[in-house]
Amino acid sequence: MNPAGLSLARRAAVQAIYQWQITGLSPAEIERQFFEEHGIGKGDPDTFKALLHGIPEHVARLDAALAEYLDRPIAEVDPVERAILRIGAFELLFRPQLPYRVVLNEAIKFAKEFGAEQGYRYVNGILDRVARQHRALEIGARPNARRA
């Protein structure tokens, strides 16, 4: 997997998941729009599709994993930050081949780019806790891993 292509695919997925949340269009319709109207350039289309279709398919499980650490109901989280949190949670839960640090760093990057001024801190705090619960072995295996 090309890291730059994965990042571009995630970036497009943030926009696509945001659109899904706001409009209620089907993932298939959003995918069609993205490929016909926007394209994903040099991004990884398989990653984009996996995120766009996997998040709606597993949204209840993702929201439950996030809800433990949210300070409000998921529906009240800013839609941009909600999309980023869902992408991060999906990758932490369903894509174990991705290092958790990569998942967190990408989420922070997109929260800084698309979210509210301090939204990246919120995203980081929530996803860090999700990672500690769902990637405990990976985190514990890191040399000098922080202990909570």
CATH code of the domain containing 68: 1.10.940.10
Q: Is residue 61 part of a domain?
A: yes
| 29 is a domain residue | yes
The contacts of residue 2 (CB under 8 Å, 6+ apart) are: 44
- Output the tens digit of pLDDT for each of the chain's 148 residues: 688 889 999 999 999 999 999 999 999 999 999 988 877 767 899 999 999 999 999 999 999 999 999 999 999 999 999 999 999 999 999 999 999 999 999 999 999 999 989 999 999 999 999 999 999 988 887 655 454 4
Q: Is residue 115 in a domain? A: yes
pLDDT of residue 1: 61
148 lies in a domain? no
DSSP state of 18: H
> What is the total count of domains within the chain?
1
Q: Tell me what pLDDT residue 147 has.
A: 46
What is the total residue count of the chain? 148
Domain that holds residue 136: 3-141
- CA neighbor of 126 nearest in space, from 61, 67, 62: 67
Q: 87, 109 in Cβ contact below 8 A?
A: no
In a domain, 147, yes or no: no
Six token digits for residue 28 = 């298939």
Residue type at 69?
Answer: Y
Would you say 21 and 83 are in contact if contact means Cβ atoms under 8 Å apart?
Answer: yes
Question: Radius of gyration (Cα) for the chain, nearest Å?
Answer: 15
Provide the strand spans (E) within the chain: none
Residue 121 lies in a domain: yes
